[in-house]
Structure formats: C-alpha cells, structure tokens
Chain A
Amino acid sequence: GAGVSQSPSNKVTEKGKDVELRCDPISGHTALYWYRQRLGQGLEFLIYFQGNSAPDKSGLPSDRFSAERTGESVSTLTIQRTQQEDSAVYLCASSLAHGVGQPQHFGDGTRLSIL
C-alpha cells in the first residue's frame, strides 16, 4: 500500500485478555517504530525494529508488552493480561532507515479500550 497500515482500527476488550495489534509498514522501509498515545497526551516511544531485530525495547512499559517483526514487513505488538491503563492509541511508524535524515511515516493507529 501507499502508507503505513494498522489493524484493527479500534479494539475493545475486557481486562485480563490478550490483544494483538498489527502494523504493515511501507514497502522497503527497514525501520519500524511503535508508539503509545494516551488520551490528550503526546506519543511515548515503545520499541524500534531494524529489519526483524529490536535493538531498542527501552520504551516497553512492562513484561506484558512484547513485539515481533517478520523480516522487513509486518510487525505485531502483543499486550498480555491487559489492564485499564493500557487503554490508548497505539501508533506505528516506518522509515527507510533509522538514519535521522529519514522521515517517519505514521499509520492511523489502533485505539485500544480496556473495559
């Protein structure tokens, strides 16, 4: 596709359930980033992928959060045993490389609501 695609667009689930969020980056983009945006706030960095390795996981808030990436394509962010504080919009971005000259292109995000 032309841009970064995220699915689902919205997800409502019960506390304690596991959820999986998907990101399809722009074709050819080797760098992929996940961010979290709580209501009315800025984005918080979660994890960075270069290819299918994750050299920076420093933003993952707890061990309930994990992510993986298949080659230089799809990435999934998994949240286990969801808590109400996990409610947020989860945004994915990709770029050609992690070089700072490369702009990050964002998807529309997944709005996660934990009941």
Chain B
Amino acid sequence: AQTVTQSQPEMSVQEAETVTLSCTYDTSESDYYLFWYKQPPSRQMILVIRQEAYKQQNATENRFSVNFQKAAKSFSLKISDSQLGDAAMYFCAYRSAGLANAGGTSYGKLTFGQGTILTVHP
C-alpha cells in the first residue's frame, strides 16, 4: 500500500515571499501521479498542480511549482510571491497510474498526506 507523509503540520510565510511545502511518499510502483490540493476554510478541495511520475520535468502552474525527485520519493511544492489568498491547508496526494497493482485495484483513488496549514502574513 502507498503512504504519503507531510512532515510539516504548519508553515508560515510573509506576503510576496516564497515558501516550500514538503511531501514524501512510499510506493513500489513505477508509474503514478502526484498532486497538491488546497483546502481553504470553505472545505472544498482545489487542485493546485499535478505531476506524472514518468515525466522528469517538474510541473509548473503560474506561481506554483514542484520539485519532483523520483528516486528520493519526494514531491515538494513551492509557492512564489505568496498572496493572502494562498492561506489554506495543503494536501499532497498519490494516485496509481495502473488499474491494478500488487495490492489490488486502485481505480484512481487518491491517497492523501496529513496536510500542512499555510499561514500568510501581510
């Protein structure tokens, strides 16, 4: 079974500065997807960025970028030019790329980390 670990329960950043959120995962699979989701107090899960494991190039979405280190099983999120609206809980998530794996059938379910609360100071 896959596990996802976020070792930073809380992080803070000054507005306009850069912050990096850490995520590590454990899997025996070679093909998979990794995601960062943002959850504001409204509870809705918002997809921030996605990375395919077979792509070496790190994904980027505007101010959000990832540092994907497949061998180290690390997937950190960098937020540049932080804004007050970035304040939220951030979750790292794993998704198998295969319809079946050693443990059974994944059907695309997401495995989440415990989350990191990000505070942005004005």
Contact = CB atoms under 8 A, between A and B. Distances in A.
Interface stretch (B11-19, B60-68, B69-77, B104-112): B104-112
B50 A106 contact: no
Given A89-B43, A106-B44, A100 B91 contact: no
A106 B45 contact: yes
Interface residues of B, number: 28
A98 interface: yes
Nearest to A47: B109
Interface string B6-43: 10000000000000000000000000010000000011
B96 to A, nearest CB: 7
Max chain A C-beta neighbours (<10 A), residue from B97, B105, B106, B107: B107
Contacts of A100: 33, 95-97, 108
A107 B109 contact: no
Given A35-B112, A42-B6, 20 more contacts: A31-B107, A33-B109, A33-B110, A43-B91, A43-B112, A45-B110, A56-B106, A56-B107, A56-B109, A89-B43, A91-B43, A95-B108, A100-B95, A100-B96, A100-B97, A104-B108, A106-B44, A106-B46, A108-B42, A111-B43
Interface residues of A, number: 30
B43 A108 contact: yes
A43 B90 CA distance: 12
Nearest to B103: A58
A25 interface: no
A91 B45 contact: yes
Max chain B C-beta neighbours (<10 A), residue from A42, A43, A44, A55: A42
Interface string A96-108: 0011101110111
Contact of A98 (B107, B111, B112, B115): B107
